[in-house]
Chain A
Amino acid sequence: MLINRCVRFSPCARTTAIKSFPTYDTFLPFRPLAARYSHHGPQYNGPAPTVAVIGSGPAGFYTAQKLMREIHGTKVDMYEQLPVPFGLVRFGVAPDHPEVKNCQDTFQEVAASPDYTFIGNVNLGHDLPLPLLAKHYDAIVFAYGASKDRQLGLKGEEKPHIYSARAFVGWYNGLPEYRDLNPDLTAGETAIVVGQGNVALDVARTLLSKVDVLSKTDITDYALQTLSSSKIKHVHVVGRRGPMQAAFTIKEIRELLHLEDVQFTPIPEELFPPDLKQLPRPRRRLMELLKKGSPVRDQATKSWSLDFLLAPKFLNWSASDPNCLEGVTFIKTKLEDPTSPDSKVTNTDETQLIPTSTLFRSIGYKAEAIPGMNEVGAEFDERRGTIRHDGSGRVVPFGEGGKTETNPTGSLNGVGVYCSGWVKRGPTGVIASTMTDAFQTAEAIVQDWKTMYSSASQAKEPRDGWKGVQAEAQALYLPLRPIHWDQWQKIDKVEKAEGAKRGKPREKFGRVTEMLAAAKS
């Protein structure tokens, strides 16, 4: 269902009864996006900031949305490395979860505002030095997510038949970086996914789903072709800990249990806590579902299992062909307190070999630093894979940008630096968690801004944003080829038309060159 949101019109006269006095703004028949929630608090009539948001995924868009709502007239320039927006909503959310992508409707609404500018196909820190932004913006928000994934640390992990779930998901979702992954799904009948989060379950579901079900989604055609020749019949989803500690969520488990012609291997009874009724509701419902499993399906052609308490130790390669995976040897682990969701886990001396020809690692994503980040005062915590901040997303508050011991006045023109989403809190949680997180960052920015400019009397020259950046980049002969929102809409249109020909909502371009060509059409 598409929500036809009322952005430009005042609320229905008949149905509105706002107890607290609405601001004057509410009574104007035409109200811009930023005024939507203006009745939540005293009206602010000071200057509005010009903000650079880096990344166009949910973290970037939800931060932009909140900023534009809270301070009327806030200008947001959103930088994106690819010519296409929406980040993991486009490249991460599973193709068979189209309803999760509905948040794009909200993002499109944000993008439709005259105060919003999309600057795609510009790779900050590479095409454009990051410090250059400082004098053209009041604030820079890092919202570029996690672009790498964690490795198992096993010898031979880089060899064929071993894939990162991030790469596999990116590949079937049309992420240009992995367009040529071409995974070989014909080497054998078994696959192992190491990791028990929702990404691991997405991989398992994609491998087990019927191709004619997937063919109605926006999964890429090249992925469909590879999947249709897949020989994989059983998927082990392996985790180091037990069912009580697993990171997946119940919806994803239920979907897998409902897959037609797919049998779930029951979980041994002793792995469950003896009394499920004692558990808090979410964990209890998940345990009950896992215990119930799937009905016996005699016609099942494929199967899957959740294999608990196993940590990968080494990869077993064929003696005759060193590039042919034969299995994975796991160490059996032991939980200190099997019933506790954050129980510690220790290795035992026992090992277990699971024969397999294909391995996916899905043990988490990882963010990376952007070159030049520390020059704007941001410090990247390599161990956590996040940007250091104050807990609410503040990296450098307004007015202090670039202040150092050697340069106490701050050469960065008082730019405020903030972070939002996965690069702020680490790669965990669903879109709703990122939304909450992004709203928190936006609220911090608004609070800091209003503290500095509490009223219109503190007039302030607006910073020139993208216009200034572009002029400076030109003067430096930086070859930028930005893609703006209207050009993305052209790409979008072509993708949808291509999809319609194939009975799909969209056929994504897998290469940047194809995207750029469509943008020029």
Chain B
Amino acid sequence: MTLYRRHQAEVEIKKDQIRQQIRVLEHGRRRFSTTPTQRHGHVTPPKPGEELHVTFIDKDGDRHTFEVSKGDNLLDIAQANDLEMEGACGGSCACSTCHVIVEDEEMYDKIPEASDDENDMLDLAFGLTETSRLGCQVEMTPDLDGLVVKLPQMTRNLQASDFEKRS
């Protein structure tokens, strides 16, 4: 199963790379650089053969799959790839803006258990589910290769009751 997922992800990435190249050619422009840029201090480009795969499903339902390294956390990966994940507290587990929902329960169980602090923040998250985590607290490991997470619907179905009262 994992192998199949991995294969699927790789195919997706190849397809996208080809599409991108076509578009670049169409526009008559070359990419600034074809090697991974080192600008993202917070994510490390994966070593060949050690790529892990993670897929984010954004609020429009679009899937984005990335090849990442062991040790990268989901918030950093999302931000390095311009996905809409805020991380207001800068990844210090002090807000709930990097809330993600793990699609697969089995996968969720493979992630090291959340700390009290993380659970405290998750309790304030919009649309909390049984498989919710904070992106900044989930680090990629070989066990999590093929992880699929959803970004919660942030601004839709917003109700006054979603806000914890502060008196």
B120 close to A (CB within 8 Å): yes
Q: Which of A12-20, A329-337, A512-520 contacts B (4 or more CB under 8 A)?
A: A12-20
Nearest residue in B to A429 (C-beta to C-beta)?
A: B163
User: Is the CB of B112 closer than 8 A to any CB of chain A?
Assistant: no
Q: Which chain B residue has the least Cβ–Cβ distance from A9? A: B39
Docked CA distance A425–B158 (Å)? 11
Tell me whether B94 and A99 are in contact (CB under 8 A).
yes
Is B49 in contact with chain A by the CB < 8 A criterion?
no
Report which of B12, B17, B40, B164 forms a contact with A6, defined as CB distance below 8 A.
B40
For residue B4, CB closer than 8 A to chain A, the reply is no
Q: Which of A3, A14, A18, A97 contacts B79 (CB 8 A)?
A: A3
Q: Name the contact of B89 in the complex, choosing from A14, A20, A102 (C-beta under 8 A).
A: A102
In the complex, how many angstroms separate the beta carbon of A388 from the nearest chain B beta carbon? Answer: 15
Within 8 Å of chain B (Cβ to Cβ): is A273? no
Q: What is the CB-to-nearest-CB distance from B126 to chain A, in angstroms, rounded to a whole number?
A: 7
Knowing A27-B31, A285-B119, say if A197 contacts B165 (CB, 8 Å). yes
The 8 A CB mask of A1-34 against B (1 = contact, 0 = none) is: 1111110011111111111111010011110000
* Interface flags, B50-88, vs A, CB<8A=1, else 0: 000000001010111111100000001101111010111
Interface size class of B (residues with CB under 8 A): 35 or more
- Chain B residues with CB under 8 Å of A14's CB are 35-36, 45-46, 67
Q: A9-B37, A198-B166, A281-B123 are in contact. Are A15 and B81 (CB under 8 A)?
A: yes
Q: Among A250, A430, A439, point to the contact of B154 (Cβ < 8 A).
A: A439
CB-CB < 8 A to B33: which residues of A?
13, 29
Known contacts A97-B94, A250-B123, A428-B163: A36-B23 contact under CB 8 Å: no
Most B C-beta atoms less than 10 A away, residue of A15, A97, A197, A281: A15
Q: Complex formed: what's the CA distance from A437 to B163 in Å?
A: 10
**Are A195 and B167 neighbours in the complex by a CB distance under 8 Å?**
yes
Write out the residue numbers on chain B whose beta carbons fall within 8 Å of the beta carbon of A13.
31, 33-37
Residues of B within 8 A of A36 (CB): 82
Closest chain-B Cβ to A498's Cβ sits at a distance in Å of 24
Task: Given A21-B23, A282-B124, verify A429-B119 contact (CB < 8 Å).
Answer: no
A103 — which chain B residues lie within 8 A by C-beta?
A: 88-90, 95
Determine how close the nearest CB of chain B comes to the CB of A288; give it in whole angstroms. Answer: 11
- Chain B residues within an 8 Å CB radius of A436: 126, 154-155, 158
Q: Mark A405-438, 1 if CB is under 8 A from B, else 0.
A: 0000000000000000000010111111101110
Neighbouring A residues of B46 by C-beta, 8 Å: 14-15
Q: Which of B9-55 contact A (CB under 8 A)?
A: 12-13, 16-17, 19-20, 23-24, 27, 29, 31-37, 39-43, 45-46
Contacting residue for A102 out of B20, B31, B92, B126, CB 8 A:
B92
User: Contact: B66 with A432, CB < 8 Å?
Assistant: no
Asked if B116 is at the interface (CB within 8 A of a chain A CB), the reply is yes
- With a cutoff of 8 Å between Cβ atoms, the chain B residues found around residue A17 in the complex are 12-13, 16-17, 64-67
A493 at the interface (CB under 8 A from B): no
CA gap between A11 and B164 in the complex, in Å = 36
Residues of A within 8 A of B92 (CB): 1, 99, 102
Name B166's contact: one of A37, A247, A285, A437 (CB within 8 Å). Answer: A247
> Quick check: A20 and B116 within 8 Å, CB to CB?
no
Q: Is B96 an interface residue (CB 8 A)?
A: yes
CB of B97 closer than 8 Å to a CB of A: yes
| B91 surroundings in chain A (CB, below 8 A) | 1, 3
A189-208 at interface with B (beta carbon < 8 Å): 195-200
Q: How far is the CB of B71 from chain A (nearest CB, A)?
A: 14
- Inter-chain contact B123/A18, CB cutoff 8 Å: no
Q: Are A199 and B167 in contact (CB under 8 A)?
A: yes
**Does B97 contact A435, Cβ atoms closer than 8 Å?**
yes
Q: Which of B36, B41, B84 is within 8 Å of A37, CB to CB?
A: B84
Min distance, Cβ A358 to any Cβ of chain B, angstroms: 20
Residues of A within 8 A of B58 (CB): 40
Complex contacts, A199 vs chain B, CB 8 Å:
166-167
Flag if A432 contacts B124 (CB, 8 Å): yes
Given A12-B80, A197-B165, does the pair A251, B117 have CB atoms closer than 8 Å? yes
Q: How many angstroms between the C-alpha atoms of A199 and B166 in the bound complex?
A: 7
**Cα-based distance from A435 to B95 in the complex (angstroms):** 11
Other-chain contact of A18, B16, B41, B93 (Cβ < 8 Å): B16
A29 cross-chain contacts in B, Cβ below 8 A: 31-33
A97-123, CB under 8 A of B: which get 1 and which 0? Answer: 101101101100000000000000000
Q: Which of A10, A251, A439 has the most CB of B within 10 A?
A: A251
Instruction: Please give, as numbers and ranges, the residues of chain A lying within 8 Å of B64 by CB-CB distance.
Output: 17-19
A-B CB proximity, top 8 nearest = A29-B32, A102-B90, A197-B167, A282-B123, A99-B92, A429-B163, A99-B94, A247-B165
15 A-B residue pairs with CB within 8 Å:
A3-B79, A6-B40, A11-B81, A14-B67, A17-B64, A19-B63, A29-B33, A197-B165, A197-B166, A247-B166, A249-B120, A251-B120, A254-B116, A285-B119, A433-B162
Instruction: Known A-B contacts: A21-B19, A247-B166. Give 20 more (CB < 8 A).
Output: A10-B32, A14-B35, A15-B45, A15-B68, A16-B81, A17-B13, A17-B67, A24-B27, A39-B82, A40-B60, A99-B89, A106-B86, A197-B166, A249-B124, A251-B117, A282-B123, A282-B128, A363-B167, A428-B165, A431-B88
Residues of A within 8 A of B (CB): 1-6, 9-22, 24, 27-30, 36-37, 39-40, 97, 99-100, 102-103, 105-106, 195-200, 247, 249-251, 254, 281-282, 285-286, 362-364, 425, 427-433, 435-437, 439-440, 443
